[in-house]
Amino acid sequence: MRISPTLRPLSARPAPLLESFERLGLSAPLLKAIATLGFENPTEIQQEAIPHLLAGDRDFIGLAQTGTGKTAAFGLPMLEHLDPKASHVQALILAPTRELGQQIAQQIELFAKQLDGIQTVAVYGGANIMTQIQQLRRPCHVVIATPGRLIDLAKRKAVKLDQLEFVILDEADEMLNMGFKEELDTILDMTPASKRTWLFSATMPKEIRRMVKQYMEDPMEVRIDPQTAVNDHIDHQYATVRHTDKAEALARFMDMDPELFGVVFCRTKRDTQDLAETLMKKGYRADALHGDLSQPQRDRVMRRFKMRELQVLIATDVAARGIDVNDLTHVFHHS
């Protein structure tokens, strides 16, 4: 089971009109890349977005839920437009979290394996900024960034955005929810007016509409209705307990099933840390993942979780975006 944006989630329906990616207009190298990755049928957002983005002549808004394959929807046509012979940054992808940025970078690199010379760099807070500066000094075509770190690098003149051809905002509503409004305005003001802006979001709040009006020109909008069908392979249960008893209730679930391997979602960073500490004091293999951790700390927690040194990962929803873990047995919504 996956808890991150993926190319082909179980809940995504095969495209009803197009038989395969071949009919979307993608080039042979990219078709070979996605075939190697095992993808056959485009999801709805891929089916609707890719032909329009391949044209590359308009700004674009894609409204679709997390996990519907948006990375391929914008990543594949973006790669078609890049010139590997040019050494400047041609495309910028902005993501709300380090984990999502890392995952986007990994997927773009996999798509680009059949293309000669395309270079990507992912930059985000919590990692060594000098290492990222060194990476940006080499020829680079695509930068995947979190807003705060990109501004830090721009202030140091380590990244140039004046020749950008494409700016892609992924999970735009989440970036605004996390307080990146001023950072996004600053970044977009640094980009050339001639660029194309592709915005992807699950929702379209008023602040997103403001950005569209201010920074986009006559955008095409595609809306994919959320799927309400429930995965038949998932059992849904709930327990009514007092707030003070939630940690004990979770511990009982873990006691009843020694093979339990799951993620517990909490609303706040404090709730996440408090619950993890409570479980650890009781002897359970648990740890917390939230935005206050440094990148090395986050990497250590995720490494332990993927190696099953941890039985449960306690995480905020924002921190968990971009995490890709197989074979989960349980997902708990704690608060």
**Rounded mean pLDDT, 187-206:** 95
SS3 198: strand
Domain covering 21-223 assigned CATH 3.40.50.300 in the classification: yes
Beta pairing partners, 313: 263, 287
pLDDT of amino acid 231: 57
**Rounded mean pLDDT, 173-200:** 94
Mean pLDDT (the chain) is: 87
- Kindly report the CATH number that applies to the domain delimited by 243-333: 3.40.50.300
Q: Is 292 a residue whose pLDDT tops 50? A: yes
Alpha helices in the chain (DSSP H): 28-36, 44-55, 70-81, 98-111, 129-137, 147-155, 172-177, 181-189, 206-215, 246-256, 269-281, 295-306, 317-320
Distance CA 257, CA 252 (A): 9
Q: Is 68 a residue whose pLDDT tops 90? A: no
**Token pair of 254 as six digits:** 């873990």
In the chain, what are the helix, strand and coil shares in percent, each to the nearest 5?
Answer: 40, 15, 45
- Across 235-268, b (16+ Cβ under 10 Å) vs e yields eeeeeeeeeeebbeebbebbeeeeebbbbbbbee
Q: What are phi and psi of 25, to 5 degrees?
A: 100, 15
Half-sphere exposure of 223 (CA within 13 A, CB side): 4
Q: What are phi and psi of 4, to 5 degrees?
A: -130, 165
Running DSSP on this structure, what letter comes out for residue 293?
A: S
Q: Is 18 a residue whose pLDDT tops 50? A: no
Q: What are phi and psi of 314, to 5 degrees?
A: -100, 120
Distance CA 281, CA 273 (A): 12
Running DSSP on this structure, what letter comes out for residue 224?
A: P
**Rounded mean pLDDT, 224-249:** 77
pLDDT of amino acid 1: 39
The pLDDT-based confidence of 216 (bands split at 50, 70, 90) is very high
**Token pair of 326 as six digits:** 């197989």
Q: How many helices (H) and strands (E) does the chain have?
A: 13, 11
Segments of the chain assigned to CATH 3.40.50.300: 21-223, 243-333
Give Cβ neighbours of residue 171 (< 8 Å, ≥ 6 apart): 66, 95, 96, 100, 200, 201, 202, 321
Q: Is 24 a residue whose pLDDT tops 80? A: yes
Q: Which of 154-158, 191-195, 201-205 has the lowest mean pLDDT?
A: 201-205
**Rounded mean pLDDT, 157-169:** 96
Q: Is 283 a residue whose pLDDT tops 60? A: yes
In tens, the pLDDT along 125-148 reads: 888 999 999 999 999 999 999 999
The pLDDT-based confidence of 291 (bands split at 50, 70, 90) is confident
**Rounded mean pLDDT, 300-317:** 90
Q: Which residue has the higher pLDDT, 26 or 323?
A: 26
The pLDDT-based confidence of 14 (bands split at 50, 70, 90) is very low
**Token pair of 173 as six digits:** 């509503």
**Rounded mean pLDDT, 98-125:** 92
Q: Answer yes or no: are the C-beta atoms of 79 and 206 closer than 8 Å.
A: no
The pLDDT-based confidence of 305 (bands split at 50, 70, 90) is very high
Give Cβ neighbours of residue 148 (< 8 Å, ≥ 6 apart): 125, 180, 183
Q: Is 17 a residue whose pLDDT tops 50? A: no
Q: Is 32 a residue whose pLDDT tops 80? A: yes
pLDDT of amino acid 258: 85
% of the chain with per-residue pLDDT over 90: 61
The pLDDT-based confidence of 293 (bands split at 50, 70, 90) is confident
pLDDT of amino acid 105: 95
pLDDT of amino acid 217: 94
